[in-house]
Amino acid sequence: MRGLALQVLLPGFTGTTLPDDYRALLEEGLGGICYFGSNTADGADATAALSAAIRAANPRAVIAVDEEGGDVSRLHTRAPSPVLGAAALGAIDDLDLTEAVGRWVGQELAAVGVTLDLAPDADVNSDPDNPVIGTRSFGTDPERVAEHVAAWTRGLQSTGVGACAKHFPGHGDTATDSHLDLPRIAVDADTLAARELVPFDAAVEAGTRAVMTSHIVVPALDPDRPATLSPVVLGMLRDVLAFDGVVVSDALDMAGASGRHGIPEAAVLALVAGCDLLCIGPDKPAALVEEICDAVLAAVADGRLDRARLAEAAARVAALEAPVGGDREPPDRLRQTEAAHGALLVEGALPDVTGAAVVSVATTANIAVGDVAWGLGPDVTVDPDAPDGIPDGVPLVVQVRDAHRRPEVLALLDRLSGDGRTVVVVEWGWPGPYDGGLARICTRGSSAPGVAAVVEVLREAGWTR
């Protein structure tokens, strides 16, 4: 029974080498490991060696990671991702390119031993103030999002790496971050079916190996429980969308899941609701894994969790196969840069920016994105509330992320405009509304191809760095 309880757990540990206590858990049957930035910090060779150590301890272990391309990358944290993200791909609307990006990501993951990618994002970003989805979404139109989700899934899974569409039943219509609180989405069942569920249905039709839940309450379906803990919501995934793969919980250390219950109890409730593989979160001690395992075993013993449900979940996890590997095709930089140009939205006439300094406005990224490189390499980084150090006497290229939902950033831009400074704003987040009078370049997410496209546009306006 302990082996079944361990099989459904997907924790993350700290560091780039396998700790002895985690090695012991894997040898006992721990279901897998989820990589985060602390695990991949030493580069591809070290990550591949870590994967080999994990598989040596448990050959059937799932090795998972969030590698969406664009803003969300665990393999590329010191420089922007080499592939375009979802919002840019959706704007370009080239399904062949989207499938190719999924394939390129899958080949890179297979090369370092990853077996399950917690991507693509299948959310329809219907709320422009969404603090956690934004450029991770392929767009605002359900049918277009669905087509790109299916294409990216096909590309990824052609490499043998499993896809995991997220965040069911849809996290796009919320202005609350479920990492920090419990969002509620006030949509009726008809809207849910016509908007949120369309991309997930496409992912299922494309053969996605897994679907990730969201920690959001949808009162039209279940007024009391977030989707991760709701048999009603997860039953819809099985019965209405006919999905028979692995249901993966979003990280249970997020407030939306465990804020009221604690992680061990949230794990039990998620299994009861219908989750199969429980993502625990990053940097967790082995002692917490033991605590969760004990809670699951106690729930089986007292009848709260049916043993057959646990066995079903464990069997689904065990059925996930490791990729076979194969030749790696490097991303086509030229093709992506040309596409990134097509995704750019340039508002207003760009002024002469000869000699311009690049100013990054520091804002906290959402937890899903994390502390990673973004945009152009800055000459100076400033706090929007205390913007000391902005160079005088030269034009400015001011880099922001999601300025439309950050009053302090908009106030800084207004101040620069009022001072008569020559400024081009580069918006690396969601292209929300802006009427501050400064010329603006919207990129729909940070990536290496996006950076290359912005550099070319700025050079046409006189920038020479």
- Classify 268 as helix, strand or coil: helix
Peptide bond into 169 cis (omega under 30): yes
Please state at what angle helix 448-460 crosses helix 333-343, rounded to 10 degrees: 60
Distance of alpha carbon 8 from its chain centroid, rounded? 21
**What are the catalytic residues?**
179, 250
What one-character DSSP code corresponds to residue 134? G
CA dist., res. 465 & res. 461, Å (int): 12
- Which of 231, 209, 213 is closest to 221 using CA atoms? 231
CA dist., res. 218 & res. 273, Å (int): 15
CA dist., res. 423 & res. 255, Å (int): 39
CA dist., res. 463 & res. 461, Å (int): 6
- Which of 429, 411, 412, 426 is closest to 366 using CA atoms? 429
CA dist., res. 102 & res. 110, Å (int): 12
